[in-house]
Amino acid sequence: MKNKFDKILFDLDGTITDSKEGILKCLRYAFDKMELENPDEEFLMSFVGPPLIESFLHKVNLNEKDAKKALGFYRERFQTIGIYENKLYPGISELLHLLSQRNDIKIYIATAKPLPFTIRILEYFKIIKYFDDISGSTLDGSISGKTQVISTLLNRLEPDFNKNRTLMIGDRDHDILGAKENGIKSLGVLYGYGNKEELGEADYLIDSVVELQKFLLGGK
């Protein structure tokens, strides 16, 4: 039977990798450097996924200058330490390998994480070889947010690709919204950082990597 989707876009944090430890430690580092009161983990988890500059601006209410300064402190620790405080979800590498072996499927990365960090992470876990293209944000903010990241990637695909057979897989609401705003289907993974309420607008919901493999490739 022909696969339902032939172009599959994956988010990174909370979908392919469990990056919570590194991100939270880098956020706490930034808050300490900015001499701000360190918030609880639930609040910090809301930073995982959306562009960090927006979270510093709107969730911490920093002005633009201080938000950029806080982002700089975050990246100071992340690019040397935090980037490796990270792990693949069990079974995800095997799934990516199986997808990459299919002639009728192409897989991509679409993440709000800056592209240079994304490439380093994919290389570190030795999974970069599975992806046909990689789209991320830019360090200067010229490409920022999931909607723009997805549209940047879709614009690089052949002009006659079928949006109805293109799927965005992610764990946060901005993944689902970004897919809808680009006219493609979305799948929310509940093993990541979002819950059923947050991912309620997704076209599909799955609970585990095992279920994700069944959905994408079929089989028992």
Number of domains in the chain: 2
Predicted confidence at residue 1, as pLDDT, reads 42
Residue listed under structure tokens 């599975």? 130
Give the structural domain span for 156.
7-18+87-217
Are residue 139 and residue 184 in the same domain, yes or no?
yes
Amino acid sitting at position 169: I
Predicted confidence at residue 219, as pLDDT, reads 61
3-state secondary structure of 96: helix
Residue listed under structure tokens 């723009």? 148
User: Does 1 fall in a domain?
Assistant: no
Which pTM does this prediction carry?
A: 0.92
User: Does 47 fall in a domain?
Assistant: yes
Amino acid sitting at position 180: K
Query: Where would I find the H helices in the chain?
Result: 20-33, 41-45, 52-58, 64-78, 92-100, 115-124, 146-154, 173-181, 209-217
Are residue 128 and residue 172 in the same domain, yes or no?
yes
Q: What's the CATH code of the domain at 76?
A: 1.10.150.240
Q: Across residues 21-25, what is the average pLDDT?
A: 96
Backbone φ and ψ for 56, nearest 5 degrees, come out as -65, -35
| Active-site residue identified among 6, 11, 66, 132 | 11
Predicted confidence at residue 158, as pLDDT, reads 78
- Catalytic site includes residue 13: no
Are residue 80 and residue 169 in the same domain, yes or no?
no
